[in-house]
Amino acid sequence: GEDVEQSLFLSVREGDSSVINCTYTDSSSTYLYWYKQEPGAGLQLLTYIFSNMDMKQDQRLTVLLNKKDKHLSLRIADTQTGDSAIYFCATRRDTGRRALTFGSGTRLQVQP
């Protein structure tokens, strides 16, 4: 079945860059997403990338996709304390089962 894996925890200092990594198994994934979840809140869509792209940049966020290795990463530049949250990677096909498949999330801790 489909599987999405993420590391559990990442700690960075304020002002540094953060890189959160994700690997997935479904080679038919068309869209790959990053969501942010703060305590007690729902999931906030940060950005997504089509599988035919290898990079997408949106302000402080850079998404890199290595389709051959099925590896997705999210880079947050100039990380702030407000970026502390859990970050979820998710994949979705464009045909058939179109639901999002999520990883278990990476907790990002930003130290002042």
Partner 1 sequence: EAGVVQSPRYKIIEKKQPVAFWCNPISGHNTLYWYLQNLGQGPELLIRYENEEAVDDSQLPKDRFSAERLKGVDSTLKIQPAELGDSAVYLCASSLGGGKAEAFFGQGTRLTVV
Number of residues that bind partner 1 (CB under 8 A): 25
Of residues 60 and 107, the one with the C-beta less far from partner 1: 107
- One symbol per residue from 81 to 110: x for binding partner 1 (CB under 8 A), - otherwise; what is it? -------x-x-x-x--xxxxxxxxx-----
Report the alpha-carbon distance of residue 63 to residue 29 in Å, rounded: 16
Does residue 13 belong to the site contacting partner 1 (CB under 8 A)? Answer: no
Report the alpha-carbon distance of residue 10 to residue 110 in Å, rounded: 9
105 — alpha (psi -120 to 50), left (phi > 0) or beta?
left
Of residues 14 and 73, the one with the C-beta less far from partner 1: 73
